């Protein structure tokens, strides 16, 4: 049912004639038809902050359905660690074959990332999430019933394609459906659910057979797939494709039936119409001056996020602790124990402290954590403070993981979902997501070689990159807290600035 719709033509008619008002498509208590346009504007300015005082249950449930995809993302990443010995034993795989199984997920994710923006733009965010879950379901089945290595590879590749789609679509969808005062926290739940998916998969994998663990991985895929028909499409995507009545109805549904959505709906419509006059940009078209700042911020954050060493540290945590002379079980348990609470803290703080302060604190913490870990390896090489160096390595890695979880893990994805205009969001999102997965693969592949070259040198290098991240955030990254997507994108675009 359409609870709110005022056509752009009707709105323009009001502005031209202060004594007559063209009626909307239905009777709405939000817009009395006996008022003149001036009176309507005053009325809505007075009611700007009215509406539901609490977060609508519809918005919470819709976000929950979306972030089931994030849980699938986390469980896919976490699957290869607890299952390694079982798979290698049951299928007689060597280390090289299992390495292919582990790394092919990233290849699939890059394939998914390339097409994620186009699919989400043309078919819609819900369809893109549904398609990704179909890929993941087939992938988990292929792994669960595999008898040879090739079926493992095919299954892992399909799951990779699925999470490549999800890694772009979920944060963008959540950002587009949430109001400005909640957008950071709700979009940050994406990273929280990734952490939960990884942690629970580690935990279950310690007790369950690898085939059973693969079948368990299907459950969240099915939950999201079955729930998607019951959640609304993104109001901003609906406006982009010209379905304005459905956009207004979706927005009203998400904000609550008594909420005043006139100003937000008008802003979405006017901004979308302005950018629809421009052609849909290809990836090459993104390098025009009007999008350059958004592109530098989005791509730069993803490069620094991955080249700060997170995937190398998480994937090879056990070997790091063993190299430092520490128990691998203690280190892994401590990492899991700190990751989820710190991610939760970041979600809670994001809309209170803002994105920039959290990013700066996070980058400083990761810099310090890597420096402590590097120092521990230096002391180990010099055979000094032998009792202290393992503890320093553990503390360094935990400081790194905790600091990363509070900011650098979630916020680059939040900002990516906020800064690109609607006419380039698909191409830009695909590029940024592809860069993230490519950098992830580079670090994952190179980490063991770097550690063999010099453990201390590797962590000093990561510490330097994290230090550069502090400067990058301080100089280039905008604060997006408390601003609508349209306001953020206008401030980032020279086109919008020129039109003012």
Tell me what the mean pLDDT of segment 377-403 comes to: 83
- pLDDT greater than 70 at residue 80: yes
**What single string gives the DSSP state of each residue in 394-406?**
HHHHHHHHHHIII
Q: Which fold has domain 284-499?
A: Growth Hormone; Chain: A; (1.20.1250)
Rounded distance between C-alpha atoms, residue 252 and residue 164, angstroms: 31
In the Cβ-directed half-sphere of 318, how many Cα atoms lie within 13 Å?
4
* 130 vs 16, higher pLDDT: 130
* 291 vs 51, higher pLDDT: 291
Rounded distance between C-alpha atoms, residue 439 and residue 60, angstroms: 33
pTM of the complete model beyond 0.85: no
Burial class of residue 114 (count of CB atoms within 10 Å of its CB; 0-12, 13-18, 19+)? middle
- pLDDT greater than 70 at residue 4: no
What is the pLDDT, as a whole number, of residue 317? 65
What is the pLDDT, as a whole number, of residue 3? 38
Reduced to 3 states (helix: H, G, I; strand: E, B; else coil), residue 18 is coil
- pLDDT greater than 70 at residue 496: no
What is the pLDDT, as a whole number, of residue 285? 64
Write down the number of H helices and E strands in the chain.
Answer: 22, 0
At residue 277 the predicted structure's pLDDT band, cuts being 50, 70 and 90, is low
List pLDDT tens digits, range 93-126.
887 888 788 888 989 999 999 999 889 989 999 9
Answer for the pair 216, 144: CB distance below 8 angstroms, yes or no.
Answer: no
Q: What is the dihedral of CA 36, 41, 44, 45, to 10 degrees?
A: -150
Tell me what the mean pLDDT of segment 237-256 comes to: 90
Rounded distance between C-alpha atoms, residue 166 and residue 137, angstroms: 13
What is the pLDDT, as a whole number, of residue 475? 92
Answer for the pair 75, 201: CB distance below 8 angstroms, yes or no.
Answer: yes
- pLDDT greater than 80 at residue 456: yes
- pLDDT greater than 50 at residue 391: yes
CA 486 to chain centre: 19
Nearest to 475 by CA among 292, 290, 297: 297
Average pLDDT over the chain, rounded to an integer: 81
Reduced to 3 states (helix: H, G, I; strand: E, B; else coil), residue 199 is helix
What is the pLDDT, as a whole number, of residue 159? 96
What is the pLDDT, as a whole number, of residue 134? 97
Q: Which of 1-10, 20-29, 30-39, 377-386 has the highest mean pLDDT?
A: 377-386
Tell me what the mean pLDDT of segment 204-215 comes to: 91
- Percentage of residues in the chain with pLDDT exceeding 70? 82
- pLDDT greater than 80 at residue 34: no
Rounded distance between C-alpha atoms, residue 22 and residue 6, angstroms: 10
List pLDDT tens digits, range 293-325.
888 999 999 999 999 988 777 765 666 666 666
At residue 219 the predicted structure's pLDDT band, cuts being 50, 70 and 90, is very high
- pLDDT greater than 90 at residue 156: yes
């Amino acid at each position: 049912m359409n609870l709110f719709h005022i056509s752009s033509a009707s709105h323009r008619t009001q502005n031209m004639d202060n004594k007559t008002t063209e009626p909307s498509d239905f009777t709405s208590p939000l817009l009395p038809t006996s008022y003149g346009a001036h009176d309507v504007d005053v009325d809505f300015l007075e009611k700007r902050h009215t509406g539901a005082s609490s977060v609508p249950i519809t918005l919470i449930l819709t976000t929950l359905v979306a972030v089931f995809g994030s849980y699938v993302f986390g469980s896919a990443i976490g699957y290869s660690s607890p299952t390694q010995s079982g798979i290698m034993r049951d299928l007689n795989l060597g280390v090289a074959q299992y390495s292919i199984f582990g790394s092919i997920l990233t290849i699939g994710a890059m394939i998914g990332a390339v097409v994620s923006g186009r699919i989400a733009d043309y078919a819609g965010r819900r369809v893109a999430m549904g398609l990704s879950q179909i890929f993941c379901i087939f992938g988990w089945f292929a792994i669960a019933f595999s008898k040879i290595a090739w079926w493992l590879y095919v299954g892992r590749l399909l799951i990779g394609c699925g999470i490549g789609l999800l890694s772009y679509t979920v944060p963008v969808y959540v950002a587009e459906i949430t109001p400005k005062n909640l957008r950071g926290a709700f979009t940050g739940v994406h990273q929280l659910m990734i952490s939960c998916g990884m942690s629970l998969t580690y935990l279950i994998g310690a007790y369950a057979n690898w085939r059973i663990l693969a079948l368990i991985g299907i459950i969240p895929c099915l939950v999201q797939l079955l729930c998607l028909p019951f959640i609304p499409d993104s109001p901003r995507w609906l406006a982009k494709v010209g379905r304005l009545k459905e956009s207004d109805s979706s927005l009203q549904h998400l904000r609550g039936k008594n909420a005043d959505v006139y100003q937000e709906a008008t802003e979405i419509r006017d901004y979308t119409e302005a950018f629809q006059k421009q052609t849909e940009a290809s990836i090459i078209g993104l390098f025009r001056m009007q999008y350059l700042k958004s592109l530098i911020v989005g791509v730069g954050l993803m490069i620094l996020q991955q080249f700060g060493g997170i995937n190398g540290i998480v994937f090879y945590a056990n070997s790091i602790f063993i190299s430092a002379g520490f128990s691998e079980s203690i280190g892994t348990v401590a990492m899991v124990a700190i990751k989820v609470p710190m991610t939760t803290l970041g979600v809670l703080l994001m809309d209170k402290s803002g994105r920039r302060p959290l990013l700066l604190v996070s980058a400083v913490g990761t810099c310090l954590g890597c420096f402590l870990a590097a120092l521990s390896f230096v002391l180990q090489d010099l055979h000094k403070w032998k009792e202290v160096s393992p503890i320093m390595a553990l503390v360094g890695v935990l400081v790194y993981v905790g600091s990363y979880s509070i900011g650098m893990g979630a916020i680059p994805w939040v900002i990516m979902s906020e800064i690109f205009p609607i006419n380039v969001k698909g191409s830009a999102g695909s590029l940024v997501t592809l860069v993230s997965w490519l950098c992830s693969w580079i670090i994952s592949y190179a980490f063991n070689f770097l550690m063999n070259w010099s453990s201390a040198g590797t962590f000093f290098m990561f510490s330097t990159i994290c230090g550069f991240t502090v400067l990058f955030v301080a100089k280039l990254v905008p604060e997006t807290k408390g601003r609508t997507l349209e306001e953020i994108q206008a401030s980032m675009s020279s086109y919008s600035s020129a039109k003012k």
